[in-house]
Amino acid sequence: LNLRIFGSLIVGAVAAALAFQAPGNETPEFTRDGEMVRPRNYREWVFLSSGLGMTYGPMASSEPRFDNVFVNRGAYRSFIETGRWPNGTTLVLEVRDAQSQGSINRGGHFQTAVVGLEVHVKDESRFAKKWAFFGFERDKNTATAFPANSSCFSCHEQHGAVDTTFVQFYPTLLEVAKGKGTFKN
Amino acid sequence: LNLRIFGSLIVGAVAAALAFQAPGNETPEFTRDGEMVRPRNYREWVFLSSGLGMTYGPMASSEPRFDNVFVNRGAYRSFIETGRWPNGTTLVLEVRDAQSQGSINRGGHFQTAVVGLEVHVKDESRFAKKWAFFGFERDKNTATAFPANSSCFSCHEQHGAVDTTFVQFYPTLLEVAKGKGTFKN
């Protein structure tokens, strides 16, 4: 049993264990042209919160819609420890239609089809403003970053509770940020 | 380098990889008296959906509340493959208060404090009806199962789209169940 076989077995075992736990790619991917590739498996990332018909929403409509926010697991763990977002942080905003009447439900609202997907990514070496926003059109696998003068940036810079992100609307992270002293009022 | 050391190293490497990916315990735990231990880290499990002010909710109130549903990762993966819930499935219903005015938001609803936590668990060897419901009181670490004649059971048995669970309200799983032929109308 030589060291090379030994090493391969360990690498194989670790890879198998990781594959079982994390089949999805949680690192942001970009094409050669700098377009972002649609995140896969973000539904298995960490859920931060959801809202219904929030007025600040990028896709506000007359009928209220749900927005669900997810973040990649590694960034979540890092935030829990430090109250700050690491490079590679990828926040996904999934917008879904709402329905009231369905099955046994006769009031309130539950979630139905996806109608929008927006992504907020931190990559200090790639983006002049450290973060960028991407809006994925239906059935398109890549998206171009919003221009740096778009309203996303000014609103998030002005109102983001932690590093241009709306942690004020994510109740579990809000507590962490307050505890770590990274929360801006 | 003998086989015992070799084995220990592999076990250690796998354990380290798993620990990095999954610090939380995702297997339901029970006391000797059969009480369920409050699930830890369910916020890192897989989010299924959320609703606002749904009338079937166990904690319906005059002010609409959000309900977020999470499931342990292993059960989620199994459901994606088969359209069925394995033994050990643990669904957590987290109820949160809603707020409209806050930060830049002036309408709609976003989530604030947790006001309730209910759990639906499948364990065919432990429960006569295969599944059981638990409601955790605030600040209590364990909960007793609801009696088998409680309304939870009759409603879930009568209206659950898949095996007494309300998959009709979880849009991603609804598609899977329809595809696998396990969805009851």
Q: What is the ipTM of this complex?
A: 0.85
Minimal C-alpha gap between B97 and chain A (Å): 11
* Residue of B21, B68, B107 with shortest CB distance to A22: B21
Q: How far apart are CA A172 and CA A70, in angstroms?
A: 13
* Residue of B53, B107, B171 with shortest CB distance to A96: B171
Q: How far apart are CA B6 and CA B24, in angstroms?
A: 27
Minimal C-alpha gap between A5 and chain B (Å): 11
Nearest CA in chain A to B69: A47
Q: Identify the H or E element spanning B121.
A: strand B110-122
Nearest CA in chain B to A80: B44
Comparing CA positions, the residue from B37, B174, B51, B3 lying closest to residue A52 is B51
Q: Is B125 on the interface with A (CB under 8 A)?
A: no
Tell me how far CA of residue B183 lies from CA of A171, B161, B163, B164, in angstroms: 34, 5, 9, 11
Tell me how far CA of residue B176 lies from CA of A21, B62, B107, in angstroms: 20, 34, 34
Q: Is B178 on the interface with A (CB under 8 A)?
A: no
Tokens of A183: 């929360």
* Residue of B43, B53, B171 with shortest CB distance to A172: B43
Give the contacts of A81 (CB within 8 A, at least 6 positions apart). Answer: none
| Prediction pTM value | 0.86
Q: How far apart are CA B7 and CA B57, in angstroms?
A: 50
Q: Is B185 on the interface with A (CB under 8 A)?
A: no
A58 or B167: whose pLDDT is higher? B167
Q: Is B24 on the interface with A (CB under 8 A)?
A: no
Q: Is the pLDDT of residue B22 over 50?
A: no
pLDDT tens series, chain A, 185 aa: 566 665 666 655 555 444 444 444 588 999 999 999 999 999 999 999 999 998 765 555 667 999 999 999 999 999 999 999 999 999 999 999 999 888 888 889 999 999 999 999 999 999 999 999 999 999 899 999 999 888 889 999 999 999 999 999 999 999 999 999 999 97
